[in-house]
Amino acid sequence: MHVLDGSSGGGQLVRTALTCAAVSGESFRMRYVRRARSNPGLQAQHCAAVNAVADICDAATDGVEVGSEAFSFEPEVAAEEADDDEEPTLGGTTSVEVGTAGSIPLVFDSLLPLAGALDEPITATLTGGTDAKWAPPMDYFQHVKLPLLREHGIDATVSVDRRGFYPRGGGEATLTVEPSTPTPITLTERGDREALTAYSVAESSLADDEVAEQQATAAAPDAAHEIAYADADSAGSAVVLAAEYEHSRAGFAALGERGVSADAVGENAADALAAFESGPGAVDSHLADQLVPVVAVAGGEVRAPEVTTHVETCVDLLAEFDYDIGIEHTDDGAVVLSA
Give the pLDDT of residue 252.
98
Distance of CA 184 to the CA centre of its chain: 19
CA distance 308 to 300: 19
Question: What are residue 333's DSSP bridge partners?
Answer: 330
Give the pLDDT of residue 198.
98
What domains does the chain contain, in order, with CATH numbers?
A: 2-187+283-333 (3.65.10.20), 193-277 (3.30.360.20)
Say which DSSP state 7 is in: T
CA distance 216 to 200: 6
If you compute the radius of gyration of the chain from its CA atoms, what whole number of angstroms results? Answer: 19
CA distance 67 to 215: 36
**Quick one: CA torsion of 108, 271, 198, 252, rounded to 10 degrees?**
-10
Q: How many helices (H) and strands (E) does the chain have?
A: 10, 16
Residues 6+ apart with CB under 8 A from 176: 121, 122, 123, 124, 156, 157, 158
Give the pLDDT of residue 334.
85
Choice among 2, 225, 310, 329 that is catalytic: 310
The reply to whether the predicted model has a pTM over 0.85 is: yes
Among this protein's residues, is 310 annotated catalytic?
yes
Q: pLDDT 10s per residue in the chain (339 long)?
A: 999 999 988 899 999 999 999 999 999 999 999 998 888 999 999 999 999 999 999 999 999 999 999 999 999 665 555 555 556 789 999 999 998 889 999 999 999 999 999 999 999 999 999 999 889 999 999 999 999 999 999 999 999 999 999 888 999 999 999 999 999 999 999 999 999 999 999 999 999 999 999 999 999 999 999 999 999 999 999 999 999 999 999 999 999 999 999 999 999 999 999 999 999 899 999 999 999 999 999 999 999 988 778 888 999 999 999 999 999 888 777 899 887
